[in-house]
Amino acid sequence: MPFKNLRSLFLFAFICLLCYGNAVRYRMTRDLGLAMSIIDQEYVEPADSKRLYEAAMAGMMRSLDPHSSYIAAQKLPSFQSVFEQQFGGLGVSLDGPPRRPQLTVMTTLFNSPAFKAGLRPGDIIARVDGEDVMTWPVEKVSDILRGKEGTSVQLKIDRQGELFEKTIVRGRIDVESVIGDRRRGDGSWEFLMQADPRVAYLRIELFGEKTAAELQKAIESCDPPPEALIIDLRDNSGGLLIAATQICDMFLDDGQIVTTRGRNDRVDEEVKAKIGTIVPNNVPIAILINEHSASASEVVAACLKDRKRAIVVGKRSFGKGSVQNVIPLEGGRAAMRLTTAYYYPPSGRRIHRRDLTSEEGSWGVDPTEDCEIGLTAEQLTAAVQRFRSRSDPISNGMIPAQAPADESTQTSDKKDGGAIREANPDASLPEDAQLWLALQRLQEKLDQ
């Protein structure tokens, strides 16, 4: 057979294979549309076609892995606001069922609508706009309290048995992703630790668009400059990968930060540090992690541990070493969150945990030798309570208890224009055994 005819035959066969593959996909798509049409016409009760579509999309994404998902139009603004670190609301942190018997105010963001309205830690929210919510899940009530700036919500508060009502106008809430050792009377954070002012404590709540800039600003605000850092990533479930790599770059002069690999183990991206750091290389760093530290948290912990830039204290991390891309759907009104790659730290060790039901195998980020420490249920409760108390300037002593809630009274340990020069006893520190161990490890280095 002439070569020209043979080439045409191969080309024809290739086109046929492509057409067959497309035909299979189109047939499945056609059948899905047919099923929706049959349900719409024949189901015993009227069916909402939009709900059918959303259920099909959600089920399809759920079949892939726990981290891929369909984000419906009504949920997309809330999803985006987390990473944009801004939303309309009251500025109140709640806890409740199933952890507490009733919906309880834990902290109020300084100068937020809730703070200005006089809500206090320990207040119980009995009703929201007339609805009894005391036993509702926290997430459900939080969604209700969020809303457009300028709109109002009516709360019925139970304060130690005294009932009263407050109508609060929602405002713009800028989400803090980096917090410190304790909140000052003016609403800002003190990052130098009360127990040892040589050490700065920086807790990263999430990895959002502003997190890297917030962290740099926090470090640079310390006066005097810290001689050691504690970066607390416990219970941080992740966020934007770029925020994690930017933070790693703050402490490294060069070399690899992370590599992402897609299908067939192809290298999608290799991120390397640029020359220059915001903290001298001789400043020791301790990173706190636990079993709920995931994704971007693991990028930071694994990178700085592998590069010998930090010690890691706590428990092995969650093991979510996958990258999700958010792909717009429905003209940008909805989105698909799709796993497209796995990431690998400088050591090349796999972090992703495929089987969430098993503790076996090598996954996650392990603490540094002699730095592994867990918390019992009682210790965890005490540590959480300590954290919340340190976030309230009245509870932590930065505002005297008798002072009005809007009075910005500074504590007496401030010298020389606001810099902390002397350590003060922090009786609550042993309540957080992991933080206490991290501080001890850094003090050993500083005192050498």
The residues that are catalytic are 295, 306, 320
Q: Measured between alpha carbons, how far is 8 from 11 in angstroms, rounded to an integer?
A: 5
Q: Measured between alpha carbons, how far is 276 from 258 in angstroms, rounded to an integer?
A: 18
Q: Do the Cβ atoms of 301 and 312 come closer than 8 Å?
A: yes
| 367 token code pair | 């603490």
| 16 token code pair | 């046929």
Q: Measured between alpha carbons, how far is 415 from 393 in angstroms, rounded to an integer?
A: 19
Q: Measured between alpha carbons, how far is 268 from 258 in angstroms, rounded to an integer?
A: 11
Give the torsion through C-alpha atoms of 427, 431, 433, 439, to 10 deg.
-30
> For helices 241-249 and 296-306, what crossing angle results, to 10°?
30
- Beta-bridge partners for 419: 415
Q: Do the Cβ atoms of 346 and 256 come closer than 8 Å?
A: yes
Strands (E), 72-198: 86-89, 92-95, 104-108, 124-128, 131-132, 152-159, 162-169, 171-174, 178-179, 182-183, 189-190
Contacts of 236 (CB under 8 A, 6+ apart): 204, 205, 206, 207, 292, 293, 294, 296, 297
Residue 91, phi-psi category: left (phi > 0), alpha (psi -120 to 50), beta (remainder): left
Q: Measured between alpha carbons, how far is 277 from 437 in angstroms, rounded to an integer?
A: 26
| 422 token code pair | 């002397």
